[in-house]
């Protein structure tokens, strides 16, 4: 008769956690942080790529893992 | 050591001193002292599109430098330098706070605020000494001073103008918004500050190219937008693998790897969904073929997105025509490229440069490895023609004299003199110190080419094309024979670094042969000698394998490629040692590099000095090292894979895992590891290894003495 499979003890002690969440780290932006629209268009901004919201016209840039508004939106439609 | 940007989330850990602040926005970056000063004659300054527009920037109050207190800022492009007027003699306290808010982007803006914290009025003379030399970025990095052409200084209304008379005219205006006196290269104000009040002035540093001003990203009068972490915006986070370990430093290094690689994420405006990363900050914020190929290889057990995005992007820009200026050749994979309209200014007219001997073979290796990790059929079919073009280059233009070895020689005087990863002008030398003359066939390039041949053979076999499989297997075997006959130095017991223009073996003892172990081109009977040398005191510093042995004439532990330690180089060497069964040696290298990571605050830099660990208890930083650097950030992941001895054959439905983790990291569990359609959990203790997720019951292996 096969032995029971081992039970993984989630209380590893001591333990330190590293989440290797590269999916989030590498994902392209999907939603406008202002209006929530998913209609983001990548734009050549000279020496970088910015993202423009097709709905509210806000423009966003990614800086070393952080996002910053380049241009504020003019119209904020109802969130989808 | 450069700190990527001012004051990130947590406290720094470890004993290595950080004395620089780097701010960055696109192709603009500013390196300064921690108090914000840019000191003349140092690898510091404000750089825009690869030129230095400020080479000196020193603020004084009554002729005295403010005393730095701290630096604040979570924005990559901005920081606040907090200081105080030094106390008067005999007093402990000062009443004058100095705040300098700096923002970079197509130039620089600085808001200076002096805050009088006393109940009495304060008056002081504020001066700012500036200079601009328009030096090329890489000349500055390499310690070469000044620009070609003349620089003239002009005076405007509360402004100083520097003009560089060169083939591409450049200029920079430093303007005070607030009345100021101008004398030579100095701006001067008299600040009369009432009690409990403040005095402010804003300075704009605006570059000019061909007489046209660049639009400042943070101009005077406009509030600066603050950033948020991009990851926080996603409500749903895709669950990736997780590592749980008893070793807090290992966990911290791995977390930092994720953060740093995310920070280096670039976007191709035409394909923003393709994950690609810049090579390193601040000096290499562009897509580099070799760097991105190796970085994405190292991530493969954990994430395939970067490898897929990298392969697709490099394939899209694969060489199509012969162009000696850019060294483009049909089938060749690029060395460096930049996106966007301004790219041509940085690369002297084109957006890509192709002068690399190894990226083409590495591209083929990556596609092969991706397939072993389960690359889907559609994307594989899109990449296969590019693989075959690369193979054509390897056997054609890559080997112009037809001797079977891939070699390089730059096509023009503007190209890179050395086109392997050790691309310093003096990066390839004989044991005597003589600089090797091109064309040069590097040892590791033959190793990668061998890996490419084997990868192509594997892909052919997997597709049922036996003729192609036999052909490329035969090419690999022939290359291996020729390599071992030609590069092995039996009287030395190591492989030549390469062959020079006269086909002389370049007899230096260097780390390059560790890459030869990695791909398997080394004959089994020679591997023990290679392993012995890699961990000998001549090469192994205690923190890692040096690029060049201490016994070599060109050895300099403070050099870029001749005695320094590079984390990515070490990760590849460790993988090679493990491949040939040198477990203790591989562990030693891995533990050394991870120990160095701890001393750098868990962020491995591009490189560090090769001083012996017994001489210096902490690794010595290399002054202009990039940090973060993509392949250094990825190195811990390859080290983890090496110690897990994790190898896939997903098209055949197999994966092997036979850990040899040092006890200090145990117990260790990696969960959520996606392997094909399965999600694995690997738990390693000192007694056993259990793998769950591949069938029932879980695979379990006990140590022989357990």
**CATH code where residue B79 lies:** 2.70.98.40
B310 contact A CB<8A: no
CB B597 within 8 A of CB B253: yes
Give me the residues of chain B with pLDDT under 70, please: 1-18, 145-147, 227-239, 339-350, 695-706
- Provide the pLDDT for residue B654: 78
Count of domains for chain B? 2
- Provide the pLDDT for residue A73: 62
DSSP string, B156-201: ETTEEEEEEESSS-EEEEEEEES--EEETTEEEEEEEE-TT-EEEE
Which residues have C-beta within 8 Å of that of residue B51, sequence separation ≥ 6?
A: B134, B135, B136, B137, B147, B170, B207
Write the CA distances from B392 to B152, B364, B386, B389, B462, integer angstroms.
Answer: 52, 11, 10, 5, 20
CA B640/CA B654 separation, integer angstroms: 20
CA B589/CA B584 separation, integer angstroms: 9
Domain for residue B696, yes or no?
no
Per-residue tokens: A29 = 């932006």
DSSP one-letter code for B44: -
Domain for residue B592, yes or no?
no
Domain final residue, candidates B481, B508, B535: B508
- Provide the pLDDT for residue B3: 20
CB B638 within 8 A of CB B298: yes
pTM attached to this predicted model: 0.87
The average pLDDT across A58-65 equals 81
Q: Which of B316, B308, B315, B338 is nearest to B326 (CA)?
A: B338
- Provide the pLDDT for residue B406: 98
Confidence of residue A61 (pLDDT cuts 50, 70, 90): confident
Residue holding tokens 């920037």? B57
User: With 50 as the cut, is the pLDDT of residue A8 above it?
Assistant: no
Contact pairs from chain A to chain B, CB under 8 Å = 193
CA B598/CA B330 separation, integer angstroms: 44
The pLDDT tens digits of the residues spanning A9-48 come to 455 555 899 999 888 888 888 888 888 888 989 888 777 7
Q: Which of B24, B26, B106 to probe the A interface (max A CBs under 10 A)?
A: B26
Domain final residue, candidates B483, B508, B533: B508
CA B97/CA B78 separation, integer angstroms: 19
Residue B396 belongs to domain spanning: 356-508
Q: Which of B598, B541, B599, B534 is nearest to B565 (CA)?
A: B541
* Residue A24 to residue B264, Cβ atoms within 8 A: no
Which residues have C-beta within 8 Å of that of residue B315, sequence separation ≥ 6?
A: B363, B382, B383, B386
Confidence of residue A2 (pLDDT cuts 50, 70, 90): very low
Domain final residue, candidates B213, B241, B273: B213
CA B656 to chain CA centroid, Å, is 31
CA B344/CA B350 separation, integer angstroms: 5
Domain for residue B143, yes or no?
yes
- Provide the pLDDT for residue B370: 94
Domain for residue B64, yes or no?
yes
Per-residue tokens: B141 = 């990095």
Q: Which of B199, B129, B136, B190 is nearest to B160 (CA)?
A: B129
- Provide the pLDDT for residue B629: 94
B23 contact A CB<8A: no
* Residue A20 to residue B242, Cβ atoms within 8 A: yes
Residues 32-71 of A with CB under 8 A from B: 33, 42-49, 51, 62-70
- Provide the pLDDT for residue B14: 23
* Residue B227 to residue A67, Cβ atoms within 8 A: yes
Per-residue tokens: B471 = 């052909």
- Provide the pLDDT for residue B699: 56
Q: Which of B338, B238, B216 is nearest to B289 (CA)?
A: B338
* Burial group, residue B436, by CB count within 10 angstroms (0-12, 13-18, 19+): buried
Nearest chain B Cα distance for residue A53, angstroms:
14
Instruction: Classify residue A76 as left (phi > 0), alpha (psi -120 to 50) or beta.
Output: beta
- Provide the pLDDT for residue B10: 22
């Amino acid at each position: 008769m096969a032995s029971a499979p081992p039970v993984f003890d989630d209380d590893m002690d001591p333990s330190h956690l590293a989440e290797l969440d590269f999916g989030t780290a590498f994902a392209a932006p999907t939603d406008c942080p202002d209006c929530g629209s998913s209609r983001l268009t990548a734009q050549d901004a000279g020496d970088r790529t910015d993202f423009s919201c097709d709905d509210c016209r806000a423009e966003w840039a990614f800086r070393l893992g952080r996002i910053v508004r380049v241009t504020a939106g003019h119209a904020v439609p109802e969130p989808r | 050591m450069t700190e990527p940007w001012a004051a990130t989330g947590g406290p720094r850990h470890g004993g290595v001193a950080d004395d620089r602040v780097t701010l960055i926005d696109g192709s603009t970056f500013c390196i300064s002292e921690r108090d914000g000063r840019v000191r003349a004659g140092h690898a510091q300054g404000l750089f825009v599109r690869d030129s230095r527009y400020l080479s000196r920037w020193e603020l004084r109050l009554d002729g005295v430098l403010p005393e730095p207190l701290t630096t604040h800022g979570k924005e990559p492009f901005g920081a606040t330098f907090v200081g105080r007027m030094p106390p008067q003699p005999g007093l402990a306290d000062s009443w004058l706070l100095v705040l300098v808010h700096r923002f970079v982007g197509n130039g620089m803006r600085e808001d200076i605020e002096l805050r009088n914290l006393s109940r009495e009025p304060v008056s002081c003379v504020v001066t700012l000494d500036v200079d601009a030399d328009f030096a090329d970025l890489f000349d500055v990095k390499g310690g070469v001073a000044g620009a070609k052409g003349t620089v003239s200084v002009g005076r405007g209304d509360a402004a100083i103008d520097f003009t560089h008379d060169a083939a591409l005219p450049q200029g920079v205006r430093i303007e005070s918004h607030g009345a100021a006196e101008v004398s030579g290269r100095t701006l001067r104000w008299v600040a009369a500050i009432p009690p409990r009040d403040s005095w402010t002035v804003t300075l704009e540093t605006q570059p000019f190219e061909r007489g046209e001003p660049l639009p400042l990203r943070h101009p005077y009068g406009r509030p600066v937008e603050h950033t948020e972490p991009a990851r926080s915006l996603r409500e749903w986070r895709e669950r990736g693998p997780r590592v749980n370990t008893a070793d807090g430093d290992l966990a911290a290094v791995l977390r930092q790897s994720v953060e740093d690689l995310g920070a280096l994420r670039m976007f191709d405006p035409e394909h923003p969904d393709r994950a690609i990363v810049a090579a390193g900050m601040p000096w290499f914020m562009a897509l580099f073929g070799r760097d991105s190929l190796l970085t994405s290889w190292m991530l493969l057990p954990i994430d395939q997105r970067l490898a897929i995005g990298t392969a697709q992007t490099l394939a899209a820009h694969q060489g199509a025509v012969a162009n000696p200026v850019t060294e483009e050749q049909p089938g060749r994979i690029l060395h460096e490229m930049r996106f966007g309209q301004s790219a041509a200014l940085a690369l002297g007219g084109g957006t890509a440069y192709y002068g690399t001997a190894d990226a083409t073979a590495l591209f083929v290796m990556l596609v092969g490895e991706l397939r072993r990790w389960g690359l889907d059929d559609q994307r594989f079919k899109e990449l296969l023609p590019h693989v075959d073009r690369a193979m054509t280059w390897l056997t054609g233009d890559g080997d112009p004299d037809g001797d079977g070895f891939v070699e390089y020689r730059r096509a023009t005087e503007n190209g890179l003199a050395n086109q392997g990863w050790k691309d310093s002008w003096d990066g390839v030398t004989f044991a005597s110190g003589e600089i090797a003359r091109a064309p040069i066939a590097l040892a590791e390039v033959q190793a990668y080419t061998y890996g490419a041949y084997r990868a192509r053979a594997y892909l052919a076999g997997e597709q049922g094309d036996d003729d192609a499989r036999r052909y490329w297997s035969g090419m690999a075997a022939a290359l291996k024979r020729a390599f071992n006959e030609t590069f092995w130095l039996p009287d030395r017991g190591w492989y030549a670094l390469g062959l020079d223009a006269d086909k002389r073996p370049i007899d230096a003892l260097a780390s390059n042969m560790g890459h030869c172990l990695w791909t398997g081109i080394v004959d089994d009977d020679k591997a023990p000698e290679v392993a012995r040398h890699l961990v000998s005191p001549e090469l192994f510093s205690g923190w890692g394998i040096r690029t060049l042995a201490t016994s070599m004439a060109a050895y300099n532990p403070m050099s870029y490629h001749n005695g320094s330690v590079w984390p990515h180089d070490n990760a590849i060497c460790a993988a090679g040692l493990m491949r040939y069964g040198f477990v203790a040696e591989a562990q030693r290298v891995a533990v050394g590099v991870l120990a160095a990571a701890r001393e750098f605050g868990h962020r491995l830099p591009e490189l560090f000095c090769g001083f012996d660990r017994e001489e210096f208890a902490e690794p010595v930083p290399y002054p202009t090292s990039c940090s973060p650097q993509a392949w250094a950030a990825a190195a811990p992941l390859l080290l983890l894979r090496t110690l897990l001895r994790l190898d896939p054959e997903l098209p055949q439905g197999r994966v092997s895992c036979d850990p040899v983790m040092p006890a200090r990291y145990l117990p260790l569990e990696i969960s959520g590891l996606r392997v094909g359609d399965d999600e694995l959990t690997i738990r390693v203790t000192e007694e056993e290894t259990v793998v769950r997720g591949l069938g029932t019951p879980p695979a379990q292996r006990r140590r022989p003495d357990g």
